[in-house]
Amino acid sequence: QVQLVESGGGLVQAGGSLRLSCSASGSIVSIGVMGWYRQAPGNQRDLVATITSGSSANYADSVKGRFTISKDNAKNTVYLQIDSLKPEDTAVYYCKGDRILVKSRSGSHYYTNDIWGQGTQVTVSS
C-alpha cells in the first residue's frame, strides 16, 4: 500500500513564500511521476506541476516563474516551492503519484497509479 502525505501549507501574506512537501511511503521501488495539483473552493482540481523520475519538470502557465517542483529520491519526497504568493493561489494543494513501482509481500513487483495525498491548505491574504 502506497500513501502520500502532504505538509507545509498555511496562512501567508501576499508576496510571501511556502514550501510544500509530499512524502511517499510503502514498499516503493521507484516513482515514475509525481505531481502537484490544487483546488480552490468551487473550482475543479487543476494541475500545477509535475516531475518525472528523470527530473523533467513541467508547470502550468499560471505558475511558471513562481513555483518550483523538486524531489529527493532517497526520501521519496517531492517539494513545491511557492514564491511571490498571490491571493489567487489560495487552494488545497494535493500531490499525486503515478507509475509507482511497488514490491509486494510475495516479492513480486507491480505498478500502481493515481495515488493521491489528503491535501494541504494554502491560504494567501491580501
What are 48-104's pLDDT values in tens digits?
Answer: 999 999 999 999 999 999 999 999 999 999 999 999 999 999 999 999 999 999 999
Q: How is residue 26 annotated by DSSP?
A: S
Q: Which residues contact 67 (CB under 8 A, 6 or more apart)?
A: 36, 48, 49, 59, 80, 81, 82, 83
The 10s digit of each residue's pLDDT in 25-55 is 999 999 999 999 999 999 999 999 999 999 9
